[in-house]
Structure 1
Amino acid sequence: MEYISKVQRNDEGEIISFQTSSGRIISYRKALLETKDGLLNGANIDSNQNGIATLVNDDENDRYFSYYPSIF
């Protein structure tokens, strides 16, 4: 099963896309959908204070993929 290996952030530091272990680059929304469908390992869906679905890392020490390398 694939897992998230790298992230791409915009100028505001928000994640906009991910690279998977197989080398695919997918949008944040696609990553949410694939996580929901059980196709991505190591991530979960959580809701923020406004009830919006967000992607979080299974690693409690790095919930927001802060230590993941950049795609570019």
Structure 2
Amino acid sequence: MEEITKVQRNYHGDIISFQTSGGRIISYRKAVLEASEGLLQGVDLQENEMGDYEIYSTGSTDKGFDDFPTIF
């Protein structure tokens, strides 16, 4: 099972894609889908007030991806 190893952010600082331990680069939406299917380990999903799912790291103290390296 793969896990998230790196992130890519837009100019607002929002995460737009992830790199997995298998070397794949996947979009935020694809990561949410794979996490919901149990294909990614080390992440949790939470539904926000708008009904969308957000992905969080279970290995981070703040549950975010701030300490993850960037893809580029």
Give the TM-score normalised by structure 1.
0.92
Structure 1 runs not aligned, ≥5 long: none
Deviations 1:4-59 (A, max 9, x none): 00000000000000000010000000000000000000001112233321001113
Q: Measure the CA separation in 1 of the matches of 2:60 and 2:50.
A: 22
Aligned residue number for residue 26 of structure 1: 26
Number of residue pairs the alignment of both structures matches: 72
Give the TM-score normalised by structure 2.
0.92
More helix by share: 1
Aligned residue number for residue 56 of structure 2: 56
Aligned residue number for residue 46 of structure 2: 46
Where does structure 1 differ by over 3 angstroms across 4 or more consecutive aligned residues?
Answer: none
RMSD: 1.1
